[in-house]
Structure 1
Amino acid sequence: MATTVSLSTTVDSHTNHADDSQSAKQECVTAPIPETPEQTANIELEKDCEVKADEPVPEEVVSSQSVNFTLDDATKLLLLKQILELPNVIKGLITAEKIVRAKKPFINLGDKTISDIPEELFDFDEVKELHLEDNNIDTIPSSFCSLKNLRILYLHGNKITGLCPEIGDLQQLTSLDLSSNPLSEFPLDIISKLIYLKNLRLYDAGLTAFPVEICRVLKFMEVLGLSSNSISEIPKDVICMQRLRELYLRDNKLTEFPTGLCELQCITILDLEGNSIEMLPKEIRALTSLKNLYVSRNELSTLVGDICSLRQLEVLEVKANKLVDLPENIHEISSLRELNIDDNRIQTLPTKLHRLVSLEVLKMRNNGIRNLPKRISRMKLLSRLDAGGNRLQHLPDNICALSQLRMLMLDDNCLRDIPSYIGHLRNLVLLSVTGNQFDKFPISVCTLESLEHLYLGQDRGKPFKKIPNQIKYLTKLKKLYLDNNDLNVLPDAIKELTELTTLVVSNNRLSALPKAMSALKNLETLCLDNNDLTHLPDDLDRMSKLSELEVANNPWKSPPIQVCEAGLHAILKHIETDKKIKFYATKIQAWWKGTMVRRGLGPYAELSKSKKKGKGKKGKNSAKGKKKGKK
């Protein structure tokens, strides 16, 4: 008996490479196939590709019927199940030789713990993007030469020690990632044959020298990643790569800025972070197309003024160096959107820094800065300001005019107050003022109606002794940190913060929790450790979303310390059991009291006697009344 059926294979989609992985239209055919268990592979059909038995077969499929295949049908159907990993839904079958001829531009076998590449994979000769990353592959088979249409190949995170020569025959290949493989030696002779290669990543590949040959041969190179190697110098031949747009040399052993790079007119991203560079050359002004410059974690003690000639620069990261100041004309980089000067030795900011009107992110953490720019309000696009770990004593009032500000970090400074008009920051969602010297709680903080994250821990600052009831106005608050203070109680108004997911009150002097704590229905994390608490709320189990509870170092009585040490599950179980005991105890007590009253036992004996006397007198009077009535 034969059955006529239809099939269309489905393949994964990949959002990061949309241009190279647009799914080609699948061919659908019909064919009689014996119904055997081996051939009923679990394959899902795409509705838009199904065809009926009486529909004509496409010409390109008919022409392929004469092709001889080395694999039998059952094996190839199993291939589709294991290699393409289609869902376990059987809607039909088709001859395997038609299936492997269907165009599949994208195949993802990444992170599947495979150690050998299946030879059957190479029958899919139309594949353009192939993912084999993060597996245990140690050998690349020569069959790769059959993938003539392959353009993008990911092999990073494997155990590959060398490439087969046939890889050099993939003339359509434009992107290759060999990062994080224990290559015994750099396969220069093979890679140099890939003359149309545009994207090459060799992160953590054990390189001790820059591969010079690729500079001379791979003239179409646009993105070159050589981070996390041991490269100590860049050859002059790098100027041959005039189409290079992105160069990543992070975490190498460079001691000088390669001046040859300054002749690469097309470069837009240059990453030299994590080296030992002591100075940027004046020639850097020639990089007129540069948009992102990363030179953090080097040995820079100064920035040359020539860097301010980079008018296209949008991102400048120089954190973790030895800078004591910034160029006074840094405001000339008018297109700058992000500036990161964290972890340096800067005490004074340039007087015209406020002229960076395109700036959106300003990070200046862990310096010695005493004052923010006086005209900071002109940075109208600023959305993130991180000035933590400095010596700020006050904030300029006009900081309240930064209407786009969403994140403001001022922790570990010397602030004594917060501007009274800070509530004008209508878009602020995060405020951190931990570790400051406030004389009292900055009440103006409670006017920030859009605030979602508030950090008030004072591990390095002057602790708060009281939280005002006005905190209830922060109705959008999701995370509240009040750790390392001197709080004896929490305000009852905290029950109004119904959106709260995290509450941290560790390291205080709390002896009791508000009765209405159970109103915090969305609470997921509650940290109560290192306080003077003895009782947890009886209705703690009403917080249905609670998943993390820290209760260590408290003199617990209910629940007992042993239960608290066992964790949240044990605590909730104890509360449930305790409630049942109290419920049945109340019922028993009510029953016993009723029994004693009815029987006149114990303290209710006198009450029973008085009731009996009353009933006796009433009975005699009623009897006399009846006799008089009869007379």
Structure 2
Amino acid sequence: MESKLINELDRTIISDLEEQTETRLGHQKRTDRYSKGFFCEKGDIIWLGLSGCRLNFFPKSIFRLKSLRYLTLSYNLIETLPDFFGELNSLRQLDLSYNKLKTLPDSIGELKSLQELDLTSNKMSIFPGAILNLTQLKSLYLWKNNLSSFPDGKVHIEDIRSLYLGENEILMLPNFICNFKSLQKLDLHFNRLSSLPESINRLTKLKELNLSYNKLYSLPDCIGNLKSLQNLNLSGNMLKSLPRSFSELKSLRYLNLNNDKITAIPESIGDFKSLQDLSLIANKLSRIPDSIGELKSLRRLDLTNNKLNHLPESIGELESLQQLLLSGNNLISLPESIGGLESLQQLRLNNNKLISLPDSFGDLNSLQNLSLNNNKLSILPGRFGLLSSLKSLSLSGNILKFLPNSFINLQSLLKLDLNGNKLSSIPNSFGNLHSLRMLDLSYNNLVSLPDSFGQIKSLEDLYLSGNKLRGLPESFDRLKSLRYLYLNDNKFKNLPIFIGFQKSIKELNLDGNMLVELPVSLLMLKSLKLLGLRNNPFTNEEKDLSNLSIDGVKKYLRGKRRQKIKKFEELFKENEKKLKKAADGFIIDFR
């Protein structure tokens, strides 16, 4: 059967493909978009994949496959196409993406069964007029070309649903696009549009519109007629405000206005009852209207990098909100009502000016990820430990001097970042955080760690850089899962022998301490990939260790171990009788 099917293709092409790709064309069990091969139905080839074969021509023998429905020639080097496409009258999908086509033959327009045409990432500067004759076309992909010109001919496309024209050079939206009355998805991102035609109001079935990263200064008032619109992306334009008719877009679920110049959110925002995702990153907002609380369906609100100095009490009425992203503002405090966000799972408040947190913070029972980096927090509310679902907590760059007693109740915590605070001690109860995997206590004022530290047996990544530590608790040897241990810039004069018992350690940073020698037990760290030893006052014998590779350090330590064993043997022979009497309980320190 296979030989019969292979004969349907030109043998020279098959051998050429095998030579170029080092793989044989064969049956495919499914129509993998980027594979090589064919798929049959009742003895006829209905799908053919020649993707990534480095073809610089279109194999003409393909036109003999009269039953062919799906053809993919993506990721090749094809510059021109033959004028025989009308013969493939069964073709439904044609993928010519990532080639070097500058134009299409007129015969493309004869593909009366074609429903999907992908011309992404070619070299077209003029919209191929032949496409306008594809009466059954449903989806057209022309991303990443150089399109700037469109034909004026008659349009025969009647039922196109998806049109992707992103990353081109389009200055004006051609009128014929506004006549696609069945259009549901229109993507024009990264073009050069400075305005939209009034005729855009004809696209009454449009559900998704992407106009991001153009040069739009305003929107036409008729935009409100697009009442089916659900997803609207206007990011990266020059918009300062929205037209009044904007409030008519009652079906909106996703609205992206990132990187525009919006100075105010209109009060009418409360009319978007279906809105689930609202993003206004990097605008010029100084306030949020009270009507924001009426968005009962809102799940995600991103107001990162604005100029907000307070939040309205109504923020706490967003009962469906799961993500609230407010980093990079000027917030000094949060309203007590924030505790009412019963569905909130992620809260980012990095790079604000927060001095304290409301006591209601403890009511955020669903909160899993909390980021409060680079604020001015000196204390956490006593009810902080009630955040029972919290998995990730980042508090770096604050001025915390101690942690509340309730902190030990954060039993779900996996990641804790307290880098760059003023902590001088860690409570002994800290060992109750049994789920913790990553802990960053770098650049605090710690002089010691509690013995309970060894109870955090799940700990994998531990960062203790930039403190005043001189030693580690004996319980430390229980941390068998440690992978990354950073002890740089502390006061260590020597390392405990048990440091070698952490056999999972991949990175050990000891830079900037007061070490004069290394323990031989480091030889047991079989997984070690990085060892930092710079800026330590090693003895003359070990002063060059920081310049050695890990293998070099281990070679030195093996020699050191042999010397110690030899020295012990000599000592043993000299004092054999005395040693026999004192053998019981004798401990050898091989450091």
- Normalising by the smaller structure, the TM-score range is 0.7 to 0.9
Which structure has the larger Rg over C-alpha atoms? 1
Measured after TM superposition, the shift of residue 263 of structure 1 is 1.4
**Which structure 2 residue ranges, 5 or more long, are not aligned?**
29-37, 138-156, 519-532, 535-543, 580-591
| 2:128 alignment partner, one of 177, 184, 187 | 187
The residue number in structure 1 matching 2:424 is 465
In 1, Cα distance between equivalents of 2:281 and 2:108: 41
Q: Measure how far apart 1:116 and its partner are.
A: 3.5
Corresponding residue for residue 308 of structure 1: 270
1:433 Cα deviation after fit: 1.5
Count of equivalent residues: 522
The structure-2 alpha-carbon separation of the partners of 1:385 and 1:153, relative to structure 1 and needing over 3 Å to count, comes to farther
Residues 79-118 of structure 1 deviation map (CA, whole Å, 9 limit, x = unaligned):
998375779xxxxxxxx99899455658583xx4835366
Counterpart residue number, 2:393: 431
Kindly state the Cα deviation for residue 149 of structure 1 after the two structures are TM-superposed.
5.0
Q: Distance in 2 between matches of 1:422 and 1:501?
A: 25
Q: For residues 488 and 170 of structure 1, do their structure 2 counterparts lie closer, same or farther at Cα, with a shift above 3 Å needed?
A: farther
- SS at 1:257 equivalent: coil
Distance 1:518 1:127 in 2: 67
Partner amino acid, structure 1, of 2:286: V
Work out whether residues 88 and 111 of structure 2, in 8 Å CA contact, stay in contact via their aligned partners in 1: yes
Structure 1 portions without partners, runs of 5+ = 1-28, 34-60, 88-95, 605-631
Pick from 311, 328, 340 the counterpart of residue 290 of structure 2.
Answer: 328
Q: Distance in 2 between matches of 1:136 and 1:536?
A: 59
- Distance in 1, matches of 2:386 and 2:39, equals 69
1:418 to 1:258, Cα distance in 2 relative to 1, 3 A = same
**Deviation (angstroms), 1:211:** 3.8
Q: Return the offset for 1:421.
A: 2.4
Aligned AA (1:591): E
Change (3 A) 1:407 1:173: farther
Q: Give the Cα separation in 2 of the matches to 1:341 and 1:511.
A: 44
SS in 2 for 1:591: helix
Offset, 1:588: 2.4
Deviation of residue 485 (structure 1)? 1.9
Structure 1 equivalent of residue 81 of structure 2: 141
**Superposition map of 1:228-239 within 5 A:** 228-239=190-201
Aligned to 2:416: 454
Change (3 A) 1:301 1:189: farther
Shift of 1:471: 2.0
The question of whether the paired residues in 2 share the 8 Å contact of 1:417 and 1:438 is answered with yes
Pairing partner for 2:454 from 480, 495, 515: 495
Q: Aligned residue for 1:395?
A: 357
Q: What's the offset of the Cα at 1:372?
A: 2.0
Deviation at 1:505, TM superposition (A): 2.5
- Cα distance in structure 2, aligned partners of 1:515 and 1:211: 75
Other structure's SS at 2:347 match: strand
Task: Report SS of the residue matched to 1:215.
Answer: helix
Q: How is 1:340-355 mapped onto 2 (pairs within 5 angstroms)?
A: 340-355=302-317
Q: Call closer, same or farther: CA 1:503–1:78 in 2, change over 3 Å.
A: same
Aligned 8 A contact 1:139 1:163 in 2: no
Is structure 2 residue 176 aligned with structure 1 residue 213?
A: yes
Quote the offset at 1:209 in angstroms.
Answer: 3.0
Q: 1:74 to 1:249 in 2, by over 3 A?
A: closer
Structure 1: distance between partners of 2:87 and 2:248: 44
Aligned partners of 2:250 and 2:48: how far apart in 1? 37
Work out whether residues 176 and 200 of structure 1, in 8 Å CA contact, stay in contact via their aligned partners in 2. no
Number of the residue aligned with 1:199: 162
Choose which of 593, 598, 608 in structure 1 pairs with 2:571.
Answer: 593
Q: Deviations over 1:496-548 (max 9, x none)?
A: 22222322223334444555555433333333444444556656565454444
Are the aligned partners of 2:178 and 2:202 in contact in 1 as well (CA < 8 Å)? yes
Q: 2:23 aligns with which of 73, 82, 100?
A: 82
Q: 1:449, 1:475 within 8 Å by CA — same for their partners in 2?
A: yes
Equivalent residue letter for 1:387 = L
2:270 is paired with a residue whose SS is helix
**Residue 206 (structure 1) shift:** 3.1
The 1:534/1:160 distance shift into structure 2, 3 A limit, reads farther
Matches within 5 A, 1:408-447: 408-447=370-409
Secondary structure of the residue aligned to 1:247 is strand
Change (3 A) 1:144 1:436: farther
Q: Is structure 2 residue 209 aligned with structure 1 residue 247?
A: yes
Deviation, structure 1 residue 476: 0.9
Deviation at residue 473 of structure 1 after TM alignment: 1.2
Residues 98-146 of structure 1: CA deviation (Å, up to 9, x unaligned): 899455658583xx4835366267777766666665x353525346666
Q: CA shift at 1:453, angstroms? A: 1.1
Separation (CA, whole Å) in 2 of partners of 1:191 and 1:565 = 69
CA distance in 2, matches of 1:296, 1:535: 53
Change in 2 beyond 3 A, CA 1:361/1:594: closer
User: Which stretch shifts more, 199-208 or 353-362?
Assistant: 199-208
Deviates further, 332-341 or 415-424: 415-424
User: Aligned in 2, Cα 1:597/1:514: closer, same or farther, shift over 3 Å?
Assistant: closer
294 and 77 in structure 1: CA distance in 2 versus 1, 3 angstrom threshold: closer
2:480 paired residue number: 521
Pairs within 5 Å for 1:26-425: 29=1, 70-71=10-11, 75=15, 78=18, 82=23, 101-102=43-44, 107=49, 109=51, 112=52, 114=54, 116=56, 119=59, 135=75, 137-139=77-79, 141-142=81-82, 148=89, 151=92, 159-187=100-128, 189-190=130-131, 193=134, 194=137, 195=157, 196-216=159-179, 218-425=180-387
The whole-number CA distance in structure 2 between the counterparts of 1:205 and 1:493 is 61
Identity, in percent, stands at 28
Letter paired with 1:214: I
- Residue of structure 2 equivalent to 1:91: none
2:467–2:490 contact (8 Å) kept in structure 1: yes
C-alpha contact 1:181 1:204 (8 A) present in aligned 2: no
Aligned mates of 1:519, 1:83 — CA distance in 2: 55
Structure 1 Cα separation of the partners of residues 39 and 342 of structure 2: 63
Residues 548/234 of structure 1: CA separation in 2 closer, same or farther (3 Å cut): farther
Return the offset for 1:254.
Answer: 0.9
Aligned to 2:587: none
Q: CA contact under 8 A between 2:278 and 2:301: conserved in structure 1?
A: yes
Q: Relative to structure 1, is the Cα distance of residues 355 and 532 closer, same or farther in structure 2, using a 3 angstrom cutoff?
A: same
Q: Is the 8 A contact 2:103 2:128 kept in 1?
A: yes
1:315 to partner: Cα distance: 0.8
Partner of 1:503, secondary structure, is: strand
Aligned-pair distance for 1:317?
0.7
Q: 1:225 to 1:536 in 2, by over 3 A?
A: farther
CA distance in 1, matches of 2:122, 2:13: 36
Amino acid of the structure 2 residue aligned with 1:285: S
Between the aligned partners of 1:304 and 1:442, the Cα distance in structure 2 is 41
Deviation at 1:213, TM superposition (A): 2.5
Q: 1:475 aligns with which of 434, 437, 440?
A: 434
2:463 to 484, 495, 504: 504
The RMSD of aligned alpha carbons is: 3.8
In structure 2, the CA distance between the partners of 1:538 and 1:320, relative to structure 1 (3 Å rule), is: same
Partner letter of residue 218 of structure 2? Answer: E
Contact kept? 1:354, 1:375, Cα under 8 Å: yes
Length-normalised TM-score, structure 1: 0.72
Residues 224-266 of structure 1, C-alpha deviation per residue, up to 9 Å, x if partnerless? Answer: 2221222222222222322221111111111112434321122
